[in-house]
Amino acid sequence: MLTAWVEGIGILAPGIAGWPATVDVLAGRAAYQPAPTALAPPAVLPSAERRRASRLVKAALGVGLEAVAHAGADASTLATVFSSSSGDGHNCHALCETLASDDRAVSPTRFHNSVHNAAAGYWGIATGAMAPSQVLCAYDASFAAGLLEAMTQVTTSGSPVLLVAYDAEYPEPIFARRPVPDAGGVALLLSPKAGDRSMAALKVSLGDTPISMMNDAALEALRTAIPAMRALPMLDLLARRQAGSVSLEYLAPLQVVAEVTPTNV
């Protein structure tokens, strides 16, 4: 079993903008109202990179920076784990259109944004981070895979690690095969030891228990629609400051079991 402490959280999804608003929804103080994800241009990027930033990059940087600010940490010092189920769907679509056209010249910007670690690269430019960065993809299990990797790194390195899980939609015709409806992401800053800002102790292991679901039908639809939102059952415990364990979708037949113990309750 791997153990770390949650120091900061960032979240962005359809109808959800930021951890404080999410707490109100998950704790039952506000109703969840689905709406298109609002993506802000990443002000921390230089102007040229800011213009080139995709919806996927905006989602990843937005939640990552929120988690770092929530924890009062220095982003430039943090090791990172970036995990996305599919990568940049709009860029993939544009490349496919170009390659199917008479003019098959791919723009350099399209090309460098096509790699799966593009968001991690933009993060390094934005924050000046030189610490190790891992980039993962495990389809619908990408959040759990990222959490497992981040928890392992915290345990073995004895240093904080920022996990950023993020996804965005594909346009048609790929959308018909991969119907992710909108952009969304979740970030967790995990520490090897408890601090003044620690929200909860988190223990992670592998198990074969049934996948945890959300009681609210609209939130359950969100959980299944965007792979990064597979984190919602765990975030629900954190928002309610409630001890418990949840089973997060991983590589069948295994699941990632996350046990939450709130601090200062």
CATH number at 98 reads 3.40.47.10
Which is nearest to 210 in space by CA: 257, 148, 150, 155? 257
Distance CA 56, CA 62 (A): 10
Rounded mean pLDDT, 147-153: 98
Question: What pLDDT is stored for residue 190 in this prediction?
Answer: 98
Question: What pLDDT is stored for residue 265 in this prediction?
Answer: 53
Question: For the chain, how many structural domains are there in total?
Answer: 1
Residue 142 placed within a domain? yes
For residue range 172-193, what is the model confidence (pLDDT) as tens digits? Answer: 999 999 999 999 999 999 999 9
Which string of DSSP letters, residue by residue, matches 24-82?
HHHTTSS------------TTS-HHHHHH--HHHHHHHHHHHHHHHHHT--GGG-EEEE
Q: Is 191 exposed, middle or buried (0-12, 13-18, 19+ CB in 10 A)?
A: buried
Over the chain, what is the mean pLDDT? 94
Residue 207 placed within a domain? no
Which is nearest to 40 in space by CA: 48, 50, 32? 50
Structure tokens of 229?
A: 């939102």
Percent of the chain's residues with pLDDT above 90? 83
Question: What pLDDT is stored for residue 172 in this prediction?
Answer: 95
Question: What pLDDT is stored for residue 41 in this prediction?
Answer: 85
For residue range 247-261, what is the model confidence (pLDDT) as tens digits? Answer: 999 999 999 999 999
For residue range 189-229, what is the model confidence (pLDDT) as tens digits? Answer: 999 999 999 999 999 999 999 999 999 999 999 999 999 99
Residue 137 placed within a domain? yes
Rounded mean pLDDT, 235-242: 97
Percent of the chain's residues with pLDDT above 70? 100
Structure tokens of 166?
A: 């993020």
Question: What pLDDT is stored for residue 115 in this prediction?
Answer: 87
Residue 227: its H or E element = none
Residue 264 pLDDT > 80 = no
Burial 67-94 (b: 16+ CB within 10 A, else e): bbebbebebeebbbbbbbbbbbbbbbbb
Can you say whether the dihedral through the CA atoms of 177, 236, 22, 131 is positive or negative? negative
Structure tokens of 39?
A: 């993506």
Residue 178 placed within a domain? yes
Rounded mean pLDDT, 43-53: 87
| Per-residue confidence band for 164, with pLDDT thresholds at 50, 70 and 90 | very high
Full domain range(s) for residue 12: 2-197
Question: What pLDDT is stored for residue 202 in this prediction?
Answer: 98
Structure tokens of 141?
A: 């299990």
Residue 28 placed within a domain? yes
Question: What pLDDT is stored for residue 140 in this prediction?
Answer: 97
Residue 246 placed within a domain? no
Residue 235 placed within a domain? no
CB 34 within 8 A of CB 14: yes
Looking at per-residue pLDDT, the higher value among 114 and 67 belongs to: 67
For residue range 74-129, what is the model confidence (pLDDT) as tens digits? Answer: 999 999 999 999 889 888 898 999 999 988 888 888 887 888 899 999 999 999 99
Residue 70 placed within a domain? yes
| Per-residue confidence band for 61, with pLDDT thresholds at 50, 70 and 90 | very high
